[in-house]
Chain A
Amino acid sequence: EVQLLESGGGLVQPGGSLRLSCAASGFLFGSCAMNWVRQAPGKGLEWVAIINGRGQTTYYADSVQGRFTISRDNSKNTLYLQLNSLSAEDTAVYYCAKSDMGLYGDPIDFWGQGTLVAVSS
């Protein structure tokens, strides 16, 4: 059974940093691209970033480029998202999400339950 368990969310002040983690199990982690998707309260889904299976290739949404970093440790079956220079606009539930296979063309076929990041003074 595929499981994605996010952690690391919480309340952070504007300008602060946070690192999210996602522990994966139930599938061949290193063979699948992984995403972060966020959802602000009462809003729609916003794709944030993707990383390929080997961790060599990453892409980001324009809104987070240069502030967020996606990474992975395949030896630990864990996905990460480093969030820097946070602002109120980054307040959202952050979902860890597994791509069916590769970077392009494939859907997100499984989602974690999400972790809430709240940016406020």
Chain B
Amino acid sequence: DIQMTQSPSSLSASVGDRVTITCRPSQTINSFLHWYQQIPGKAPKLLIWRASRLQSGVPSRFSGSGSGTEFTLTITSLQPEDFATYFCQQTYNTPFTFGPGTKVD
């Protein structure tokens, strides 16, 4: 199985900050890496798909990059509604594992 790690596990930030989260799969997954945002009590929401493609309706302050075994999610100017937990997921091979999450507070 492909193991996913995320760093940091949590971070403290302020409105307007630039935030970067890293996801590292245990083996290469091409670009089959996706990012989700989850606000407490809500279902997750797709932000970035296939490493760098912005999902329709997602603000452009979110961006993704990377390939192979290192990927990053960047929020260029953190907004109040962005305080949430962020998960990466690989769909290169089953089981389609998620990272453990990064809480931004």
**Residues in chain A within 8 A of chain B (CB atoms):** 35, 37, 44-47, 50, 59-62, 95, 100, 104-114
**Residues in chain B within 8 A of chain A (CB atoms):** 1, 32, 34, 36, 38, 43-46, 49-50, 55, 87, 89, 91-101
The answer to whether B95 touches A62 (Cβ under 8 A) is yes
- Chain B contacts of A110 at CB under 8 A? 46
If over half of B's interface residues share one DSSP class (helix, strand or loop), that class is named, otherwise mixed; here it is loop
The answer to whether B87 touches A45 (Cβ under 8 A) is yes
The answer to whether A45 touches B44 (Cβ under 8 A) is yes
The answer to whether B46 touches A47 (Cβ under 8 A) is no
A to B CB contacts below 8 Å, 21 in the list: A35-B96, A44-B87, A44-B99, A45-B36, A45-B38, A45-B89, A45-B101, A47-B98, A59-B94, A61-B95, A62-B1, A95-B44, A105-B50, A105-B92, A107-B46, A107-B55, A108-B46, A109-B49, A111-B45, A112-B43, A114-B43
